[in-house]
Structure 1
């Protein structure tokens, strides 16, 4: 997450949505009193003990809201990027098994394991995307939502709304896998739709 007092925005970094590229672009616009929490590539922590103790940079808007106050939270532009859940789940499976390489050897077995045998619901990267940008009642807290599928166009639009110059996004942490649809059968499609149904509905995705 990034909270910029200088430019009055809050960026919620949803896992597996190109967050490192967006962070890199935003950092050149941050002021001395701005806050960032991140772990990969660079390690930064908020000067808020409760947030710093989380140990990761994927802080939700609902989690940071009490520490900013309602006036600031309402006034700042709140944004995030989302990704097709079917594609994002493939990215999760590859990430979670990268050390042993089991996804590369037998992707469907790994996918079935995470969907049906032992879904890691507590893993921050497995969490549905809407949980990072909605409140406890399911109401959307973000003012702008960019999409990974049109990353540069989304970032250009958000930068314009913030009032900062846009810049070409880099491709930090990008995988080299092919089309996500190559990995699925109907059972797996239904499994992802069951777990990430709210993401699919809220962000306008389909298989």
Structure 2
């Protein structure tokens, strides 16, 4: 989605992320004041100072959400490819998927960060005009296309070669994700 949108970015637009155009413009972030880190997973609270809660309230804000069971497998594999110093990176490097999922620290972090966490402003208000389920973008994107006035071509990029997520889980492990991601599962109609 970010790569598709960046093709329409204007010369003075600020891009936060790791797409090719955002990387080229990264120096534009230098000196900007924000409450949190300006990176591809920044929350609306993080960008406070760059944009005010009132400006965000007036904007069409949207984000992609993903099946939590699939997302957990993807997160684990992504962490295993990283080399920066972080507790989650160290944990993923030290155990198999089941051990990573069953670790209390994994569960605590995930339970504390449902989709609304990313779309809540510094004043504590959830401000998401549209949540797009990654698995159902074509079905969910109508309001976005209407707002933009055009449709985006969304080629599949950054795909992994790993197998289906269901094969990673025992019944007990699937139940862990059902518990720690219950809010998103209920809200977005996900099933294992």
TM-score tier, shorter chain, comes to 0.7 to 0.9
CA positional deviation for 1:145:
0.9
Distance 2:46 2:107 in 1: 18
Matches within 5 A, 1:43-122: 43=23, 44=26, 46=29, 49-51=32-34, 54=37, 56-98=39-81, 110-117=96-103, 119-120=105-106
The structure with the greater share of residues assigned to strand is 1
1:141 paired to 2:124 = no
Structure 1 residue aligned with 2:88? none
Distance 1:175 1:52 in 2: 33
TM-score (norm. length: structure 2): 0.74
Unaligned runs of 5+ in 1: 1-21, 101-108
CA positional deviation for 1:139:
5.2
CA contact (8 A) 2:68 2:185 kept: yes
Distance 2:151 2:130 in 1: 16
Unaligned runs of 5+ in 2: 84-94
Matches within 5 A, 1:192-207: 192-207=177-192
Question: What RMSD, in angstroms, separates the aligned Cα atoms of the two structures?
Answer: 3.3
CA positional deviation for 1:190:
1.6
Residues matched between the structures, number: 176
CA positional deviation for 1:143:
0.5
CA contact (8 A) 1:37 1:57 kept: yes
Q: Tell me, what secondary structure is at the counterpart of 1:56?
A: coil
1:39 paired to 2:25 = no
Question: Runs ≥4 in structure 1, deviation > 6 angstroms?
Answer: 121-124
